Amino acid sequence: MARWRLAAGIAVLAALLGFCALLFRPYYQNWKLQTYMEEVAFDANRLQQPEGAFVAAVANKASELGLPAGMDQVRVRKSENGVFIEMRYFVRVDLLLYTVDLHFRPSAGAR
């Protein structure tokens, strides 16, 4: 009886690790995009650029990372305090019997 419980516990742990492995990449890519957005938003050399340059830079980085996000999903607001950049997108993850949409909303800058 004890071996059966041990095998069941190992199977549950393996399933949880597999689930976490499937979800790790989208969260890691979002973190990399968030970091890039913070670099762009707080770069003093870019403050004079038009909003379209910020949109293009963030959309290109998202494309490099393989994220399903385009230029129409990037919002940029400039103010006297600086630049605020926001992006909304979702990543579909297909699990064995279930599909989940992970919604992300990275943002950076002065509001």
List residues bridging with 103 in a β-sheet. 90
d(CA 40, CA 94): 32
pLDDT confidence of residue 95? 81
Domain boundaries, the chain: 26-109
Query: Is 80 exceeded by the pLDDT of residue 111?
Result: no
108 CB contacts (<8 Å, ≥6 apart)?
34, 37, 38, 40, 41, 42, 84, 85
32-79, pLDDT tens digit by residue? 999 999 999 998 888 888 999 999 999 999 999 999 988 999 999 998
